[in-house]
Amino acid sequence: VAVTGVQTSALPILRKAQENAAASGGVFDITTAARLVDWGYLPRPDATAPAAGASWRNIHLEAEGACASVRFDRPLWIDLGGIAKGYAVDAGLRAMALGPQVQAVINAGGDLRVAGPRAEAVRLRLPLPADAIPVIEIAEGSLASSSGREHVRPHGGGSVGPHVHGISG
């Protein structure tokens, strides 16, 4: 299966996803979309059902001129939700082309990018007393946080959430 004519702007997101999958030994895997569809977190695509065992290793990226091609050597579905949002935050900061002395914070609801001369305190929203809320300081960096606790639902005699371990499912 091949997808041709993919905009080259999508290629860096797909490359980063492949790098993250390799670095994590497959724990981070954008091909977990089939589970998210089965669990009702994503709509069912109008496409061939994924092959059992399909993973990030079945995605091959090639760039040529203004377009790129993405080849799947097995049928699979991908979910770029998390990584694309972080990429968009970073791209937004680059597009602003701010000088190094300008303090900037981009917060896209769980994806945060801090740039500039000062660290920023980040408080994580948790169901805890106000004095127990975890705080981290970030300077010239990014943070992505996601709980999913409020989105857990019953499934198959257990419970599932919107985060899928790329190896164990």
Concatenated DSSP letters of 67-129? EEEEEESS------HHHHHHHHHHHHHHHHT--TTS-EEEE-SSEEEEESSS-EEEE---SS-
Q: Considering the chain, what percentage of its residues have pLDDT values greater than 90?
A: 36
Q: Is the pLDDT of residue 57 over 90?
A: yes
pLDDT at position 67 is: 66
Decide if pLDDT at 27 tops 50.
Answer: yes
pLDDT at 31 over 90: yes
> Is 43's pLDDT higher than 60?
yes
β-bridge pairing 135-138 and 120-123:
antiparallel
- The reported pTM is 0.74
* CB burial readout 143-157, b (16+ within 10 A) else e: beeeeeeeeeeeeee
Instruction: Say whether pLDDT at 4 is over 70.
Output: no
Confidence grade of residue 2 (pLDDT, cut at 50, 70, 90): very low
112/8: higher pLDDT = 112
Q: Counting every residue, how long is the chain?
A: 169
pLDDT at site 71? 85
DSSP 159: E
7/81: higher pLDDT: 81
User: Is 60 exceeded by the pLDDT of residue 5?
Assistant: no
Half-sphere exposure of 30 toward its Cβ, with a 13 Å CA cutoff? Answer: 22
DSSP state of 37: H
Could you tell me the pLDDT band of residue 62, with boundaries at 50, 70 and 90? Answer: confident
As a whole number of angstroms, the distance between CA 22 and CA 19 comes to 5
List pLDDT tens digits, range 92-116: 899 999 998 999 999 888 788 999 9
